[in-house]
Amino acid sequence: MTPTNPITTTTSTSSSSFTQAAGGALGKDTFLKLLAAQLKNQNPLNPTDDQQFLAQMAQMSEVEQVTNMAQGQQEIARSQQMTEAVSLIGRTVTWLDANGSHSAVVDSVQAGANGPTVTAGSQTGLSPADLIEVR
């Protein structure tokens, strides 16, 4: 059975413990701790292969760079969404709801956890994606 909630499991090695998210994903810090523990506890008569060690370090570097790029792209997207929402201030927008079509001038923009929302007339919390016309 696969858990649906993020559950944390702990794995212990001689003197260290590491936390791993459900689903098998390891974070950068956890990976480095595991690598240090592996080096510390390796058999001196049968050490880790140099090629394997370098491959692990290269993989970790790649994962870190991809993570940094993804975070950067998310920040750019949030900034672009906010810029587009701010450009609506003073413009007349139209949206649909259960009561039909409404139009009003955008008074303000709010930054929210799910992206920016606008206030038009007395209607707050309008998503720019839900607007059907901008004049």
> Looking at the domain assignment, is residue 11 inside a domain?
no
Q: Are 119 and 103 in contact (CB under 8 A)?
A: no
Give the domain range for residue 119.
28-33+53-135
> Looking at the domain assignment, is residue 129 inside a domain?
yes
> Looking at the domain assignment, is residue 19 inside a domain?
no
What total of structural domains would you count in the chain?
1
Distances (CA, A) of 94 to 11, 101, 109, 120, 124: 55, 7, 16, 9, 13
Tell me the C-alpha distance between 93 and 127, whole Å.
11
> Looking at the domain assignment, is residue 38 inside a domain?
no
- 13-34: pLDDT as tens digits: 444 444 444 445 566 778 778 8
- 49-62: pLDDT as tens digits: 778 878 878 888 88
- 29-81: pLDDT as tens digits: 787 788 788 778 887 777 777 788 788 788 888 888 998 999 999 999 999 99
Tell me the C-alpha distance between 66 and 4, whole Å.
26
> Count of CB atoms within 10 A of residue 120's CB?
22
Tell me the C-alpha distance between 113 and 89, whole Å.
20
pLDDT of residue 24: 53
